[in-house]
Amino acid sequence: MIRLSDAEWKIAVCLWDQGSMTITELTRTLGSDTGWSKNTIITLLKRMQEKGAVSFVQEDRAKRFYPLIDRAEAEMEETESFLDKVYKGNVGLMISNLISSDKLTKEEIRELQRILEED
C-alpha cells in the first residue's frame, strides 16, 4: 500500500486527470493554488518516485511524469485508512455524524438512500 501525503495527492490528482505532465506543467497548474515553486514540485516528485507512485519518460530536455498507481485503488485505500483512523472502521458512525452535523444536503441524503437500496 502506497501512502501519499496531502501534497503528493495534489500532484497525483493532476497526473490522473491529465495522464502525464512535465515539471513545468505541474508548476503552472499547481503554483497559483499552492504557491509551490519548481523545486518543491521536483522534491515531491522525487519522494513519489521513491514510493513507486510515479515514473517518467525523458522527452528531449523535459521529463514527463505519469502515475503508477490506480486512482480508484488509491482512493479506496485512503478512504479505508480515514475510516479506521477516525471512526474505527464504522461507516454508520461516519454517516450518522455527517447527517447530525447538517453536512449533507437533502440531495446527498437521497443519493445515499438510492445507493443503499441498490445493494
How far apart are alpha carbons 65 and 81 in whole angstroms?
A: 26
Domain extent at residue 79: 71-118
In total, how many domains does the chain have? 2
Distances (CA, A) of 32 to 24, 27, 41, 52: 13, 8, 13, 27
Q: Are residues 85 and 114 in the same domain?
A: yes
Instruction: Give the distance from CA 78 to its chain's centroid.
Output: 8
**pLDDT tens across 3-25, in order?**
899 999 999 999 999 999 999 99
- Residue 52 in any domain: the answer is yes
- C-beta of residue 66 within 8 angstroms of C-beta of residue 56: yes
For residue 58, give the CATH number of its domain: 1.10.10.10
Residue 89 inside a domain? The answer is yes
DSSP secondary structure string for all residues of 48-73: HHHHTSEEEEEETTEEEEEE-S-HHH
- In this structure, the answer to whether residues 84 and 105 fall within a common structural domain is yes
| Residues 84-113 pLDDT 10s | 999 998 988 888 888 888 878 889 888 988
63 lies in the same domain as 94: no
